[in-house]
Structures are given as C-alpha cells and as structure tokens.
Structure 1
Amino acid sequence: MAQKAYPAELKAAQYWAELTDSRFSILGIRFGLDSLVGLVPFLGDAIMLLPALRIFWLGRQLGVPFSMQTRMLFNILLDLLIGSVPVIGDLFDLLFKANQANFRLIESWWQQQ
C-alpha cells in the first residue's frame, strides 16, 4: 500500500519535534534545543513551551481528536513541570522527548485516517 504524502502541518510538526528533541548527538545521546535552552533555569523551559504548543496547534489544525489533544497537553505539561526542576529536569529532558511523542501521536493518527 502506498503511503500518503504528509500534509504541510505534519511536516512542520515533524520539523519542530526533531529540532527541539533530537537534532544533535553527542556520544550517541540525541538531544535538541529543548535540552540546551532548558539549561537556563525556569526561563529556558518557558521559552521551549512555544514550539511544544506549536506542535499541539498543528495537530489541532489537522483535526486530531480531543482525547489525543488531552494526551498531548499532558505531555507538554509534564515536560514543563519536571523540566523546570534544576538538574533533575535537565536529565528528564534528555530522556523524555515530549515533542517527539506528540509528533508520533499526530503521525499515527493521521496514517490511520
């Protein structure tokens, strides 16, 4: 079965997820701007909320169901709250890739449509 071409919103969500969560690699550990900017206590995590909300908005534009939107917001809130804790939050940002998780939710939903 041929795979459908991704719409612009899905491509944009993929771009933001990759940039914020996995663009770079050191010693085999993938990380993105979320891990780097998040090193600035509180302000860094607040700034990185913007691309996370952009991915959420792109999912809404595609028409993801309310239950998925709720899950996406939970991922964003979890990343923001735990990511704001000094040191522990920085380690958490390396392990929990909220934007990648939200992109995968959108992508999986879209492929089933």
Structure 2
Amino acid sequence: MNNPIVMIACVSIGIGIVLGVLVVWLIYIQRRRQVVDSLVRSNNVVGRSGTVEIPFNSNTPGKVRVNVKGSLVDFTAFTDESGEFSRGDRVFIVGMKRNKVWVVSEEAFTHSSDY
C-alpha cells in the first residue's frame, strides 16, 4: 500500500460504495412512503368534467375523455339528455358503473346549480 495511486483508488471505491448504498437507502425510504394506486374508482371520476371524443345522444353511446389522477382516460358515455353531444363538447360526469359513465352537458349542470 505504499503506492499512492492504489491508495487513492481504494479510497475512491470505498467512498463510491458508501454513497451508492446511501442513495439506494434514501430511495427505498422515499418509495415506502408513496402510495401507488392506478385503479380508477367511481369517486375519482364522478363530479369531474370531460371532453366528448366520439359524438353520442340518448339513443347511442359515445366516448368521453377525462383527466383522472394526472392521466387521460377514455370512458364509454351515456346520457339521458335529449340533445346531441358533438366532438369537443364539455360534459359533466354524474354517474359511473362498470367503466361506463353517465353525463350531462356542462350548461345543464351549471344552470341546475344556480337554483
């Protein structure tokens, strides 16, 4: 161990191992605290607004896109309203069952909440 290059290499390797273990331990502690849940539940969807992707009316289903937990999710959409929903219309989700949503137009929702 009289060679300074060997001593510097050993110290560098030792410091690298210690710092590597420290980083892995900190990541482990941080990830233990996080709750990962990608399951979309009805309480994550009902009450949100979405955008019509495939037009629909009360007789035919369509598709709406909703931002849920930071991701865009598409749902088959139904409505009891008499009007027709066109691509790009904003809708409000009032119910969900088996990955299908029931919607009303945002105008209908805002007018009903005025009362």
TM-score by length of 1: 0.23
Kindly name which structure, 1 or 2, has the bigger radius of gyration based on alpha carbons.
Answer: 2
TM-score by length of 2: 0.23
Instruction: Report the structure, 1 or 2, having the larger strand content.
Output: 2
* Larger RCO (CA within 8 A; separation ≥ 6): 1
